[in-house]
Chain A
Amino acid sequence: MNRIYFDNAATTSLDPQVLEAMMPYLTEKFGNPSSIYSYGRESRLAVENARKSVAKILNAHPAEIFFTSGGTESSNTVITAAVRDLGCTHIISSPIEHHATLHTVEFLKNKGEAELSYVKVLPNGHIDMEDLEQLLASHEGKTLVSLMHANNEIGNMLDIHAVGKLCKLYGAIFHSDTVQTVGHFPFDLRNTPVHFITGAGHKFHGPKGVGLLYINENVRITPYIHGGSQERNMRAGTENLYGIVGFAKALEIATAAFEKESAYIGTLKLYMMDELKKNIKGVAFNGDPLGRSLYTVLSVSFPKTEKSEMILFNLDISNICASGGSACTSGADQGSHVIRAVNNNPNQVTVRFSFSKYNTKDEVDTVVEKLKEMI
């Protein structure tokens, strides 16, 4: 039986074209990019071409693009640097951030390195902009604002320009975790008031183990991982050559097909919403699914019954892959911190469905059909 994979916010399958682009660097082109002979030079060229390509797509300068081991490393790096290198004494974040952000800001707070405030989240999952401005205005020292561009569980999207402008007004440093949006939306970083963004290859049909860190040219930070002059002294460690090549290729493919694919995937999401509303009584949606929201993520709340409590288990039995929250916390019992922040209705069971270009309407039909039996 064919599996249906509706968990693309957790990770995506590698595009075969990306693997093809990576293959030479998994085999004959294996040189260490720091070596000066031909094997090394061809590797160095591949890394720098990847950087240029990524920079061009995001409309950034190649010198602003750094490759890391993933989104988690990127977020850890810049949040820590904002405090230790840029002198931020206050962090504003939100309770619905990814744990890579939350655990890092909490760590800094617990160490006494920075004060921490959480901006209010509105019932529709968006950030309360007035509260954000108040928090910015009420603190004397330099502030880091760390707010994700799109939420991985409910799909809400931040108005990155509006937040960036506010940060500018108050002289704050602005980091946006863009792991769910890089490779899914166009970026124009030269005209976006943000200091740091992050990305992960495996969220847009690229490889795992490679990430992006954009550092605006106007800020200077020191490395997080020390030893070796890779990434222009910003990130030590032998470059994940094939991963970097794959990251760039995946971003190129995603960008070239953006309009077509975003429209297609968005249709799937809307179609699933409609079908669920038609077929399942009492179904509700978290966040702002028809407003500023990822076209890839649909967070659904089902009325809680004895049967529906087993919904994830039953979905799995039916070969349908979805998730209760983010993958990183899916083993934990305490439930999703994001859902708790936006929807504290104890009589609902939440499931996240997240789509990719490889999903179809037929799959949605099958899933809705199965869901009807499970509720």
Chain B
Amino acid sequence: MLKLPIYLDNNATTPMDPRVLEAMLPYFTEKFGNAASRNHPFGWEGEEAVDYAREQVAKLIGADPKEIIFTSGATEGDNLAIKGVYEMYASKGNHIITAVTEHKAVLDACKHIEKLGGEVTYLEVKPDGLIDLAQLEAAIKPTTVLIAIMYANNEVGVIQPVKEISAIAKKHGVLFFTDGTQAVGKIPVNVNKDGIDLMAFSGHKMYGPKGVGAIYVRRKNPRVKVTAQMDGGGHERGMRSGTLNVPGIVGLGKACELCMLEMEADTKRISAMRDKLENALLKLEEAYVNGSKEHRLPHVSNISFKYVEGEGLMMGFNKNIAVSSGSACTSASLEPSYVLKALGLGDDLAHSSLRFGLGRFTTEEQIDYTIEQVSKTVLKLREMSPLWEMYKEGIDLNTIEWAHH
């Protein structure tokens, strides 16, 4: 029997892998020590566990364990990387380049920097969601200290040309930070091959726990430094103070290990299901995939169903299927997605989009059910829609002058 509701919003958060929980449990109870307690075994146990997790995390992204700093999540990591570089490299300059489709954590950190007197360039993206590399290079100034471009987008799954971006950054002696939240654990990410100087990511997007994340800070070629944003006991080599969340960190480590071991098999299975879902839904008239299909995460599909209200669409089946019309962080607002608008979608298409985020625990049966339910709801809503009727009668809706109220 199919168990409802079906969860297809793995970009918002993922269920924890039971193997991750199992790894964490001892550290909630009997191994509860403060990892900074240096003179008794409870502390050592905690520290050992943290060190082991640091290796697991480092391995997944091809880093040295010393380059991993644990945080409370990707948002804190984004803040630490951006503000930390801005403060640390103030003598070099005050200009940061980012893109309009970044996650709010990056955009809001950049806005904060503007308030502090920094300068930020927000690159537009092409209709496929990718940034224009020539524009990026042209935006670099002598005062540029950081390029902050996400690895993969949370709403449309588009993967940015990270290697090319890092080459440009390197050529101009600018640091490259990437928000790897949606990519790490899902696709191969290697900080050296990709030329990444700093990267933030979190546990709960890769079947690990909430409340824990990490940033990668390069130690060699070049040696990157960030100004700590949380001062205190000097944990994490002074870059991030605060008692270490040992069970959370153990969970993140285990989650990374599992992603590393199972990425290939997971990707194969999940992308096949994603393609099945997407192909079936595209059979509906006037349905469009948002963002590049070629440069895209294997588990994401963002589709607009023209002449259908996304909210109405979700109401049609959201008791049974958990999907989102945009990012979770902004899903309570009725504004259309700023990411989709940046891709050039009008309000109509942006409003009629759904993001399907498949995951490790998605099944074929769930996909079949979803295809059926979504198709049915789209057809039903269109039947009731005067716009759809007009479209069907061949009226070009763009030529109509609407009466203003």
Residues of A within 8 A of B (CB): 3, 5, 7, 10-14, 16, 19, 22, 26-28, 30-32, 34-40, 68-73, 75-76, 98-100, 103-104, 106-107, 200, 202, 207-210, 224-230, 236-243, 312-313, 315-316, 319-324, 326-332
Q: Per a CB cutoff under 8 Å, which of A106, A207, A312, A327 touches B28?
A: A207
Across-interface contacts of A10 in B (CB, < 8 A) = 33-34, 36-37, 43
Across-interface contacts of B153 in A (CB, < 8 A) = none
Enumerate B77-95 residues with CB–CB distance to A below 8 Å. Answer: 78-79
Enumerate B33-75 residues with CB–CB distance to A below 8 Å. Answer: 33-34, 36-43, 71-75
Inter-subunit contact B75/A236 (CB<8 Å) = yes
Q: At the interface, yes or no: B9 with Cβ under 8 Å from chain A?
A: yes
Residues of B within 8 A of A (CB): 5, 7, 9, 12-16, 18, 21, 24, 28-30, 32-34, 36-43, 71-76, 78-79, 103-109, 111-112, 202, 204, 209-212, 229-235, 241-248, 314, 318-319, 322-324, 328-332
A78 to chain B, nearest CB (A): 12
Q: A10-B37, A76-B229 are in contact. Are A209 and B331 (CB under 8 A)?
A: no
Q: Per a CB cutoff under 8 Å, which of B39, B76, B232 touches A330?
A: B39
Cα of A267 to Cα of B332 in the assembled complex, Å: 51
Q: Per a CB cutoff under 8 Å, which of B108, B232, B319, B332 touches A227?
A: B108
Inter-subunit contact B331/A36 (CB<8 Å) = yes
Inter-subunit contact A330/B328 (CB<8 Å) = no
Inter-subunit contact B109/A70 (CB<8 Å) = no
Inter-subunit contact A99/B234 (CB<8 Å) = yes
Instruction: For B106, give the chain A residue with the smallest CB separation.
Output: A227
Inter-subunit contact A19/B28 (CB<8 Å) = yes
Q: A104-B232, A330-B38 are in contact. Are A228 and B43 (CB under 8 A)?
A: no
Instruction: For B115, give the chain A residue with the smallest CB separation.
Output: A222
Across-interface contacts of B40 in A (CB, < 8 A) = 3, 7, 315-316, 320-323
Instruction: For A237, give the chain B residue with the smallest CB separation.
Output: B75
Q: A27-B21, A38-B5, A100-B241 are in contact. Are A323 and B37 (CB under 8 A)?
A: yes
Across-interface contacts of A227 in B (CB, < 8 A) = 75, 78-79, 103-109, 329
Inter-subunit contact A210/B232 (CB<8 Å) = no
A7 to chain B, nearest CB (A): 6
Inter-subunit contact B247/A208 (CB<8 Å) = yes
Q: A76-B230, A236-B75 are in contact. Are A38 and B319 (CB under 8 A)?
A: yes
Across-interface contacts of B104 in A (CB, < 8 A) = 227-228, 236
Across-interface contacts of B248 in A (CB, < 8 A) = 208-209, 240, 243
Q: Per a CB cutoff under 8 Å, which of B36, B328, B329 touches A331?
A: B36
Instruction: For B42, give the chain A residue with the smallest CB separation.
Output: A321
Instruction: For A4, give the chain B residue with the smallest CB separation.
Output: B40
Inter-subunit contact B232/A225 (CB<8 Å) = no
A-B contact pairs, 15 of them (CB 8 A): A7-B43, A10-B33, A34-B330, A72-B242, A76-B230, A202-B34, A208-B248, A226-B105, A226-B108, A227-B109, A236-B79, A238-B73, A243-B210, A321-B37, A322-B39
B130 to chain A, nearest CB (A): 22
Instruction: For A70, give the chain B residue with the smallest CB separation.
Output: B242
Inter-subunit contact A19/B29 (CB<8 Å) = yes
B245 to chain A, nearest CB (A): 3
Instruction: For B29, give the chain A residue with the smallest CB separation.
Output: A14
Q: A227-B107, A329-B233 are in contact. Are A238 and B32 (CB under 8 A)?
A: no
Inter-subunit contact B16/A35 (CB<8 Å) = no
Q: A39-B9, A238-B202, A243-B211 are in contact. Are A327 and B34 (CB under 8 A)?
A: yes
Inter-subunit contact A100/B322 (CB<8 Å) = no
